[in-house]
A and B are shown apart, each in its own frame.
Chain A
Amino acid sequence: DGGITQSPKYLFRKEGQNVTLSCEQNLNHDAMYWYRQDPGQGLRLIYYSQIVNDFQKGDIAEGYSVSREKKESFPLTVTSAQKNPTAFYLCASSMRAGYNEQFFGPGTRLTVL
Chain B
Amino acid sequence: EDQVTQSPEALRLQEGESSSLNCSYTVSGLRGLFWYRQDPGKGPEFLFTLYSAGEEKEKERLKATLTKKESFLHITAPKPEDSATYLCAVQAVGGSQGNLIFGKGTKLSVKP
Q: Are A45 and B43 in contact (CB under 8 A)?
A: no
Q: Are A58 and B43 in contact (CB under 8 A)?
A: no
Range, interface on chain B: 20 to 34
Which 5 A/B pairs are nearest by Cβ-Cβ distance? A48-B98, A42-B102, A104-B43, A98-B97, A97-B97
Contacts of B99 on A, CB cut-off 8 Å?
45, 48, 58-59
Closest CB in chain B relative to A21 CB, distance in Å:
13
Contacts of A99 on B, CB cut-off 8 Å?
31-32
A-side interface residues toward B, CB under 8 Å? Answer: 4, 6, 31, 33, 40-45, 48, 50, 56, 58-59, 90, 92, 97-99, 101-107, 109
B-side interface residues toward A, CB under 8 Å? Answer: 4, 31-32, 34, 36, 41-46, 49, 87, 89, 91, 96-105
Known: A43-B87, A98-B31. A90 touches B43 (CB 8 A): yes
Bound-complex Cα distance A52 to B98 (A): 15
